[in-house]
Amino acid sequence: MTRRLLVSLAGAAAFSFSAAQAEPVRHVGIYVQPYYEAARTPGGAPRVAVGRSFEGLASNKREDILAIRDRIVADPKLVTPMTLMVLAIRFYDVGLRDDAVFWFYAAKDRFLTLDGVVDVGAVGLAQVEDAIRSFSTLAGPIINGYAFCDIANQQAIRAKALDWVEQNPYEAIFMERLPGKQANRKQALAEAVASLRQSAAKESAYLRDAGNAAKYRAERARNGTDEKYCWKS
């Protein structure tokens, strides 16, 4: 398996090693400074700092999170990967977990296309890279924990998220003030998307193998992962 595939599957099972208490996980209680702080008390509002126009992501009402999703879908050109990560977390918190999975994958892929085209290290975007890594590390085990309750559903959402990222390129990629890794940015973007598709295809092939899928499900059952993440709304 590739390193990316190993990271993906490890993220899906990472929390299963603390299965001593297999309580349903209904809240993504993480902190990624300066962008997000989960509520410190049940029912409280998180602190969201991904732009004033997205302050509504602090709401605990499904309709408010859905409304922001609709605004992003209508005009996604410059929506940052961090905003998409927070959207994913808030969808999980309000119980719309398929939406959480979609936007979590879209956030990661949007950043990876940026990183594939722009010399992130040269333009002082280390904070962005660190934030996406932190969101992936901290929220990933929870969101993937749910996603892999149903492998076929996870794979379908994974494909849709990557399609969305390809069809809605992050316009920061084309900003001349951000140094590109090669002169032809459209070509670099196409190569970045192709690399993501190759990685997704390898994950899919691994999970389509009946033996691999059976082992994976058995590990989740053994570690109490399903009890933690496969609860019904």
Cβ 144 vs Cβ 216: under 8 Å: no
Cβ 51 vs Cβ 85: under 8 Å: no
Helix, strand, coil shares of the chain, percent, nearest 5, are: 70, 5, 30
> Would you give the end-to-end CA distance of the chain in angstroms?
34
| Res. 10: pLDDT tops 80 | no
Q: Which helix or strand (DSSP H or E) is residue 47 part of?
A: strand 47-48
Task: For residues 11-22, give the mean pLDDT.
Answer: 45
Task: For residues 69-90, give the mean pLDDT.
Answer: 98
Which pLDDT score is estimated for 21? 54
Cβ 207 vs Cβ 155: under 8 Å: yes
C-alpha 152 chain-centroid distance: 18
- Give tens-digit pLDDT for 67-78: 999 999 999 999
Question: Which of residues 6 and 123 earns the better pLDDT score?
Answer: 123
User: Mean pLDDT score of the chain, rounded to an integer?
Assistant: 90
Residue 16: pLDDT band (50, 70, 90) is very low
> What is this structure's pTM?
0.90
Spatial separation of the C-alpha atoms in residues 113 and 194, rounded to whole Å:
10
Which pLDDT score is estimated for 122? 77
